[in-house]
Structure 1
Amino acid sequence: MTPPTESDFRVLLDALNHCVLLHDAETKAIVWANRAACVALGFTLEELLPLKAHDMTRNDARYRREIAVDAMDRSATQGPQAYEWCYRSRTGVDMLSEAIATYVPLSGRPVVMVQFRDISEEEAMRQKLRSYETRLREYMHDLDEGVALITPRGKVAYLSESGRRVLGVAPDTPLGSALDYCTRADRDRLASQLRDAPRQHSTDAQRYRIKRRDGVERWLRITCRRVDIDGELNGVLVHFRDVSEEVSLEETRRTEARMLEYAGRYNAMGEMATAIAHELSQPLAAVRNFIEGAIQRLNQPNAVESAVWGLRAADRQAEHAALIIRSVREFVGKREPVAIDADLRDVLADVAYFIQLRARDEGVSVTIEQSPQPLPIRCERVLIGQVILNLAFNAVEALTEAKQANRVVTLATSRNHDVAELHVIDNGPGVPEDVLERLFDGFSSSKAAGNGIGLSLCKNIVSRHDGRIWAQRAATGGLDCRFALPLLSQA
Structure 2
Amino acid sequence: MSIDASLDLARDSSLFHSMPIGILRLSAKDAWKVIVDLRATEKRSGAFELNQDVSCALGNACLIAEANPSACVLLQVKDPAAIAKAPIASILSEDTLKRFTEGLHQLFRGQNAIVYDGSLTIVGGGEHQVAFNLWQTQREVAQDDIYLSFSSLRERISLEQAKDGLQSDLARSARVSLLGEMTASIAHEVNQPLGTIVASAEAGLRWLSRDEPDIAEVKLLLERITKNGKRAANVIATMRALASNKKSERLPTDINSVIEETILLLRTDFAKRQVTLRLDLSPTLPPVKADKTQILQVIVNLALNAAQAMADGQAWNRTLCIRTRRDGADVMVDVEDSGPGIDLHVRERLFESFFSTKETGIGMGLAICRSIIEAHGSRIELQSTPHLGARFSFALPAEHAQTNG
Given the two structures, how large is their TM-score scaled by the length of structure 2?
A: 0.72
Residue aligned with 1:424, SS: strand
- Structure of greater relative contact order (alpha carbons < 8 Å, 6+ residues apart): 2
RMSD after superposition:
3.9
Q: For residue 40 of structure 2, what is the aligned residue in structure 1? A: none
Give the counterpart of 2:181 among 271, 274, 277.
271
Contact 2:24 2:64 (8 Å CA) reproduced: no
Residues 366 and 312 of structure 1: is their aligned pair in 2 closer, same or farther, counting only changes over 3 Å?
closer
Q: For residue 220 of structure 1, what is the aligned residue in structure 2? A: 130
Give the counterpart of 1:463 among 351, 369, 374.
374
Quote how far apart the aligned CAs of 1:425 are. Answer: 2.2
Q: For residue 283 of structure 1, what is the aligned residue in structure 2? A: 193
Measured against aligned partners, the alpha-carbon deviations of 1:131-157 in whole angstroms (never above 9, x if no partner) come to 9844x7448835435344166346422
Q: For residue 396 of structure 1, what is the aligned residue in structure 2? A: 307
Counterpart amino acid of residue 141 in structure 1: S
Residue aligned with 2:350, SS: coil
1:171 and 1:484 map into 2 onto residues whose CA distance is 55
Q: For residue 157 of structure 2, what is the aligned residue in structure 1? A: 247
Larger Rg: 1
Counterpart amino acid of residue 448 in structure 1: E
Q: For residue 191 of structure 1, what is the aligned residue in structure 2? A: 97
Unaligned stretches of 5+ residues in structure 1: 1-128
Residues 55-204 of structure 1 aligned to structure 2 (within 5 Å): 133-134=11-12, 137-138=14-15, 141-144=18-21, 146-149=23-26, 152-153=60-61, 155-170=63-78, 172-175=80-83, 177=86, 178=88, 181=91, 187-196=93-102, 197-198=104-105, 199-200=108-109, 201=111, 202=113
Quote how far apart the aligned CAs of 1:269 are. Answer: 2.7
Residue aligned with 2:353, SS: coil
Quote how far apart the aligned CAs of 1:362 are. Answer: 2.4
Counterpart amino acid of residue 279 in structure 1: E
Residues 424-439 of structure 1 aligned to structure 2 (within 5 Å): 424-439=335-350
Given the two structures, how large is their TM-score scaled by the length of structure 1?
A: 0.61
Contact 2:342 2:390 (8 Å CA) reproduced: yes
Matched, 1:262 2:172: yes
Contact 2:315 2:340 (8 Å CA) reproduced: no
Measured against aligned partners, the alpha-carbon deviations of 1:449-480 in whole angstroms (never above 9, x if no partner) come to 21211111011111112212243323653333
Counterpart amino acid of residue 271 in structure 2: R
Counterpart amino acid of residue 96 in structure 2: L
Quote how far apart the aligned CAs of 1:288 are. Answer: 1.6
Q: For residue 380 of structure 1, what is the aligned residue in structure 2? A: 291
1:218 and 1:203 map into 2 onto residues whose CA distance is 19
Residue aligned with 1:257, SS: helix
Residues 262 and 140 of structure 1: is their aligned pair in 2 closer, same or farther, counting only changes over 3 Å?
farther
Contact 1:442 1:456 (8 Å CA) reproduced: yes
Q: Structure 1 stretch 353-362 or stretch 140-149: which is displaced more?
A: 140-149
Quote how far apart the aligned CAs of 1:282 are. Answer: 1.8
Residue aligned with 1:255, SS: helix
Query: Normalized per residue, which structure has more helix?
Result: 2
Measured against aligned partners, the alpha-carbon deviations of 1:219-239 in whole angstroms (never above 9, x if no partner) come to 211244689969x86476423
Unaligned stretches of 5+ residues in structure 2: 1-6, 29-59
1:486 and 1:315 map into 2 onto residues whose CA distance is 36
1:330 and 1:466 map into 2 onto residues whose CA distance is 22
Contact 2:115 2:131 (8 Å CA) reproduced: no
Residues 352 and 247 of structure 1: is their aligned pair in 2 closer, same or farther, counting only changes over 3 Å?
same
Residues 130 and 285 of structure 1: is their aligned pair in 2 closer, same or farther, counting only changes over 3 Å?
closer
1:440 and 1:165 map into 2 onto residues whose CA distance is 46
Give the counterpart of 2:321 among 410, 416, 426.
410
1:393 and 1:222 map into 2 onto residues whose CA distance is 48
Q: For residue 55 of structure 2, what is the aligned residue in structure 1? A: none
2:205 and 2:251 map into 1 onto residues whose CA distance is 49
2:146 and 2:67 map into 1 onto residues whose CA distance is 12
The percent identity for this pair of structures is: 22
Contact 2:330 2:396 (8 Å CA) reproduced: yes
Number of aligned residues: 357
